Amino acid sequence: MLVEAHQAVFGYGGQRVVRVERLVVRGGECVGIFGPNGSGKTTLVRGLIGLLPPLSGEVRRQGSIRIGYVPQRRSLEQHWPMTALDAASLAISAGNWFGRLGQARGHVLKSMQQLGVLPLKDKRFASLSGGQQQRVILAGALATDPQLLVLDEPTDGLDLHSRREFLELVRSRVQSGLSLIYITHEVDDLVQVATAVAWLHPGEEYGEPSRVELLLPTELADRLSTGSATRGADAPPVRTTV
C-alpha cells in the first residue's frame, strides 16, 4: 500500500469539496481520477499525496514515499527560452539549491534516452510537437525515481498517433511496477491504462462535497455509453480492484 484514504473529506478553509469512503493506491496500479470540471479532482489528488490535510478522516502514506508529478503540458510557459533538457530538468532542479542539477543531470539524460527523446535535448522546447513535449516532461519526472507518479491530463491536445504512443509508454511503466494517479476527462485513456477509477460525482445540493465512486474502467465506459451517469441508492455495490 502506497496511499490509503479512509472516510476522508478534503477542502479549503473549512469548506468541504470532496469526500471519499476508502481509496487505496498500491504498487503497480494505475488509479484514474475522473469527473466534470469543478468536481474536486485536483483537491482529491492534493489530499492523497499530502499537499492538503484532510478536514476529517484519515490518509495514510508509505513512509518517505517518492512522488513525481507531470503537469498539464499546456501549463508550461511556451515563451520561455528553454531547451528540451531544461524542461526535462525542471522536476529535479526545483528541489535543489539555486536549481542546480549537479550529478542529477546524468539521471535526466538517461531517462530522456530511455524515452527516446535524448536527440531533442538541445532543441527549443516550444518547437517540439505535443507528443515530444509530453515525453520530455515525463522523462524529467521519471528521472526523480518516483514510487508514485501523478499525470495531470497527459494526453490533452495530443494527436491520435502521439496519444497512442504515450498511452503505450504509460502502460508499459505500470506493467513494470510504477504506480500512477491519472487525472483525465478521456474515458478511452482510462480503459487502456487504469486498473481502477475514482469517479467524482458533484453533490446534489449546494455546498455538499462531491462523492467518490470506485469502479473498473470498463464499467465506467459501459455506464457512460448507456447514459447511466449515476447509481441509485439501492443499486448493488460496484466491484473494484482498489
Clarify whether residues 54 and 1 are in a common domain: yes
In a domain, 172, yes or no: no
Number of domains in the chain: 2
Listed in sequence order, the DSSP H helices in 16-120 are: 41-49, 84-93, 104-114
Q: Going by C-beta distance under 8 Å and a sequence separation of 6 or more, which residues neighbour residue 233?
A: none
- The boundaries of the domain holding residue 37 are 1-66+147-159+178-191+213-230
Q: What mean pLDDT, rounded, does the chain reach?
A: 87
Question: Is the pLDDT score of 116 beyond 70?
Answer: yes
Percent of residues, the chain, with pLDDT higher than 70:
87
Clarify whether residues 50 and 88 are in a common domain: no
Question: What is the tens place of the pLDDT at every residue in 166-201?
Answer: 999 999 999 999 999 999 999 999 999 999 999 999
DSSP 186-218: -HHHHHHH-SEEEEEE--SSTTPPEEEEEE-HH
Residue 162 host element (H or E): helix 160-175
Question: What is the tens place of the pLDDT at every residue in 50-99?
Answer: 999 999 999 999 988 999 998 887 667 667 789 999 999 988 865 444 34
Could you tell me the end-to-end alpha-carbon distance of the chain, in angstroms, rounded to an integer? 10
In a domain, 185, yes or no: yes
SS3 state of residue 99: helix
- DSSP class of residue 238 equals P
